[in-house]
Structure 1
């Protein structure tokens, strides 16, 4: 680290006016889209892009077009319209936003020399003494049940900060199961095929009621003080709702039940603009299309947020907008969202959710909408999976 940082080892800075160049424009559904690129990459003879892939949404043209661009490029495809038109983020041919990445990615790959290396990881979130957490509870041994009871009893006695520290210090058991390299498209095709071979599970028909738990971790809160409400929302209505191929696991108009405390906790170092977004903007409007037009640029160009992004450890000022949009398809397609285990009623209400004191109560509420004979599916995480809905 000391030998290479900060001159040869550093993060991409999407707000550096001297570090971003314009490669050109592409025609998008709503007009011309600016294609920006990191200057160091654009001026290099060869870029070697190494990517870690958990799900099909990772990698491919997203690597360069999203990972190394500026805000003006990003906001062309991170829109409520793109999200709603994406019939699963995890099924690239049906993902409108994946096609948006490709538009910009084709220009980038044509202008620059890029060698892609994509690695595929297994989905083993836990092993060793915690390996039982990846099992279906019906398959628990007596030892597994005792360990779960002991773990729950201990965690219930600890303060929030201590629990959080334990969670963040528990390493994942992931291992590399494949590595492909070459040009963008053929490399990513092999990657997606390997991911689907591991993760896809056949499921009978769309459910009337979908139930799943939200974990303590997401792609956007590693080592943060909490999984804040917006990230709970993006995990539920964004990622887990979209964990399918072919057709949605929750039918249109169905009821989504999720479990999470939904605590009013934010990390002011990592997510400063989230605090303003949740407490000011969402209390004025929850409409993504209004937020995009009225508030997004305000947060993106806020000088304080830019400084915290560039000099500190904060996400970009516009990031909470994109996280809210990420759940837009789920919001539009589900008739109700019911949170179980929330430690307050205010946070779910701000996001337009209802609350229930137990799973049984939530199911009864859902059957009140979908009928007594409603079919229900539960996504068991971990391990994470993608439903092939038949």
Structure 2
């Protein structure tokens, strides 16, 4: 059992605190009287992972064992999370590979010979062959690629309507999934409220369905459209989920100090910290990115649950809440958040994805109350460098330069720009053939930040690029003191301050 989270009141004896700023790791000294919300300590990872997976498959929740569900002659589809969720290890096989290998061994023993594997990418970029091999390992990749292993295509003509939303919008799902007898979902759960039980269906829907159900113009319809697509999809496809909970932990011995509370650092920890800070100051940006992915936050496996999705997901959420949620007594006038570059992305965050990651953390999906009061100020640490991956982000470039230059209002973006981006044949071609994010992806990233933007009075990025912050309607500050001075007009000269310590998967809420 890990130590629970706690709230530290900053005084003159408090050492400088770790703050992630993109590819940098800073040590920031906070004003006296500020509160620091530490999340619970990370649980130790499971050492006998293969045994834990085998036990979960043989003893599922509210379901027959997986071996009993796999019948000779049945049509089985395995869907798994893409690289929007992190690679859990750089040396040992990824947990998705290890789980899927267990599933395939059970399928072979049952005489099932119609098996297909699909990366549930939704509107995110489709995975390259290298990506697929990186997630699933050489043996699975060589056995199934390309005919029986691929990414979901949200623009594929081979999609099947399985129902309609309340407003009449057709719900179109991947045809292979709908025609299956058994759909096995391998899901990585990194944070409370992260997509939830209907994630299988939403990540396998058509672009037309995703646009209709997640646009601000149809938010009410999208909230309930997939509720029935949890345990079954279509007329016969039964869903069996395998939820793997992940928790942040250091990627190696050299960076173990990053998970410790600063008062507990040894002399060695302080030396290592100084070394990382010096390196991030002198190295060029591309090299700092590589350093951050070595020194940043990795993930370990803490539990494996399997069975009926509607029964498993609440247990998963409860487990994550126990190991991630920290609680403060009352909302602050000002909240501080560091934003690291997630190690699963493989590239620096562009300004839109960085903003959506940071601002989505204010509300933590639907799992917690904001740690900052309505009309308060959120201060984030991230450079918001206006750099976009030339292969993955072509629609982001035009969304940032054209759409956000005209308006930051989600409803106006949806009405004036979304249709044109969605219908663009060049964006569609790049999505289907060149591994680019779908043209709708930047819109949905921005929509996820909208509730926080509406809740807050000021949004300030320390170290943020001036052009990027202005384009998105935020402010840029050079230092924390500058940011607090900017916020003083709305929160006063002596605001209450709470720093949410840790990575984006740590959760903060008000009791």
- Shorter-chain TM-score: which interval? 0.7 to 0.9
Match of 1:187 in 2: 312
User: Is residue 22 from structure 1 mapped to residue 161 from structure 2 by the alignment?
Assistant: yes
**Following TM superposition, by how much is the alpha carbon of 1:229 offset from its aligned partner in structure 2, in angstroms?**
0.5
The number of aligned residues is 371
**2:396 corresponds to 1:256:** no
**Residues 377 and 487 in structure 2, CA contact (< 8 A), matched pair in contact too:** yes
Match of 2:431 in 1: 309
Match of 2:445 among 304, 323, 330: 323
> CA contact under 8 A between 1:125 and 1:383: conserved in structure 2?
no
Contact 2:181–2:236 (Cα < 8 Å) also in 1: no
Aligned pair partner of 2:276 in 151, 160, 171 = 151
Q: Is the 8 A contact 1:62 1:98 kept in 2?
A: no
Q: Which whole-Å deviations, capped at 9, do the CAs of 1:44-84 have from their partners, x for residues lacking one?
A: 1111111111113336433222111111221233233677x
What SS class does the counterpart of residue 76 from structure 1 fall into?
A: helix
The one of 368, 385, 388 aligned to 2:506: 385
Match for residue 279 of structure 1 among 398, 401, 405: 401
The offset of 1:365, in angstroms, is 2.2
Q: CA deviation at 1:159?
A: 1.4
Deviates more, 1:104-113 or 1:181-190: 104-113
**Secondary structure, aligned partner of 1:251:** strand
In the alignment, is residue 133 of structure 1 matched against residue 258 of structure 2? Answer: yes
- Describe the SS at the equivalent of 1:185: helix
CA distance in 2, matches of 1:280, 1:127: 42
For the Cα contact (< 8 Å) 2:231–2:308, is it kept in 1? Answer: no
SS of 2:151's equivalent?
Answer: coil
> For 1:238, which of 347, 360, 367 is the aligned residue?
360
Query: How far 1:248 sits from its partner (Å)?
Result: 1.6
Question: Deviation of residue 17 (structure 1)?
Answer: 0.7
Instruction: Find the partner of 1:366 among 480, 487, 504.
Output: 487
Residue 203 of structure 2 corresponds to 67
1:123/1:383 contact within 8 Å kept = no
* CA deviation after TM superposition for structure 1 residue 140, in Å: 2.6
Q: Assess, with a 3 A threshold, how the Cα gap between structure 1 residues 268 and 252 changes in structure 2: closer, same or farther.
A: same
Distance apart, 1:376 and its partner CA: 1.0
Counterpart-to-counterpart distance in 2, 1:106 and 1:196:
23
1:371, distance to aligned residue in structure 2 (A): 1.8
How far is 1:249 from its partner?
A: 0.9
Deviations 1:78-136 (A, max 9, x none): 233677x8xxxxxxxxxx97655425547737753111111111222444110111223
| Structure 1 counterpart SS, 2:150 | coil
Partner in structure 1 of residue 462 of structure 2: 340
Give the equivalent residue in structure 2 for 1:165: 290
**What corresponds to 1:223 in structure 2?**
346
Question: Which residue number in structure 2 is paired with residue 298 of structure 1?
Answer: 420
TM-superposed deviation, 1:170: 6.0
Give the deviation of 1:328 after TM superposition: 0.5
SS of 2:165's equivalent in the other structure is strand
CA contact (8 A) 2:246 2:299 kept: yes
- Which one is further off, 103-112 or 39-48? 103-112
C-alpha distance in 2 between matches for 1:285 and 1:59: 27
Confirm or deny: 8 A CA contact 1:218 1:235 kept in the other structure: no
Q: Does 1:34 align with 2:34?
A: no
Structure 1 residue 245, shift from structure 2 partner: 4.1
Instruction: For residue 165 of structure 1, report the CA deviation from its aligned partner.
Output: 2.8
Q: 1:93 maps to what in 2? A: none
Unaligned runs of 5+ in 1: 86-95
Change (3 A) 1:387 1:218: same
Contact in 2 for aligned 1:125/1:382 (Cα 8 Å): no
| Equivalent residue number for residue 7 of structure 1 | 147
CA shift in 2, pair 1:218/1:153, >3 Å: closer
Q: What secondary structure, in the 3-state scheme, does the structure 2 residue paired with 1:348 have? A: helix
Kept after mapping to 2: 8 A contact 1:218/1:231:
no
1:171 Cα deviation after fit: 8.3
- Bigger mean CA deviation after superposition, 229-238 or 370-379: 370-379
Q: What secondary structure sits across from 2:342 in the alignment?
A: coil
